[in-house]
């Protein structure tokens, strides 16, 4: 299903030291709520968790390639509730995550999704290509990312 000519492909290019842990999102969802709802933190956490889980339960296909070899799907992890202080430094990042409704201010957030963890000193020196693909059952929602890692 990896489509090398698809216009929906996002690409990254990173220089990474060989002795560092590498964490790459395969497909995930971030739920966000204004911090002013702090009066009932447990209810906010339950609501955000339910929303994130419902969104990720729609993922029916995951693919992961490391240097052209398909590998097993990685673990699905839901984060604990955390706080984000949205400012000019990170507002553009949140907009790329299609959280355009998020403005400056303090928010609660949590994430549910699939991640790739590569232990330090696992990849050899030089370039490596990691391709990820995630899709819902209908194929309407797709996310495909090609990561080029230059291990130094």
Confidence grade of residue 51 (pLDDT, cut at 50, 70, 90): confident
Q: What's the pLDDT score for residue 1?
A: 43
Q: Is pLDDT at 121 greater than 50 in this prediction?
A: yes
The answer to whether residues 127 and 146 touch, using CB atoms and an 8 Å cutoff, is no
Of 23-27, 69-73, 77-81, where does the model show the most confidence? 77-81
Alpha carbon distance 86, 67 (integer Å) = 36
pLDDT at 4 over 70: no
For 150, the token pair is: 């230059």
Is 0.75 surpassed by the pTM of this model? no
| Residue 5, pLDDT score | 45
Q: Is the pLDDT of residue 149 over 90?
A: yes
pLDDT tier at 107, thresholds 50, 70, 90 = confident
Q: How far, in Å, CA of 11 to CA of 132, rounded?
A: 10
């Amino acid at each position: 299903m990896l489509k090398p000519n698809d216009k929906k492909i996002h690409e990254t290019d990173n220089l990474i030291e060989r002795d560092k842990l590498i964490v790459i999102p395969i497909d995930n969802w971030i739920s966000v709520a204004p911090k002013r709802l702090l009066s009932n933190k447990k209810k906010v956490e339950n609501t955000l968790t339910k929303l994130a889980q419902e969104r990720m339960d729609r993922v029916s296909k995951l693919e992961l390639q490391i240097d052209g070899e398909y590998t097993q799907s990685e673990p699905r992890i839901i984060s604990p509730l955390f706080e984000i202080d949205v400012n000019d430094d990170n507002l553009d990042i949140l907009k790329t995550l299609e959280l355009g409704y998020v403005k400056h201010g303090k928010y609660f957030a949590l994430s549910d999704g699939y991640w790739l963890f590569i232990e330090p000193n696992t990849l050899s020196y030089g370039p490596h290509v990691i391709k990820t693909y995630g899709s819902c059952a209908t194929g309407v929602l797709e996310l495909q990312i090609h990561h080029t890692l230059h291990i130094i």
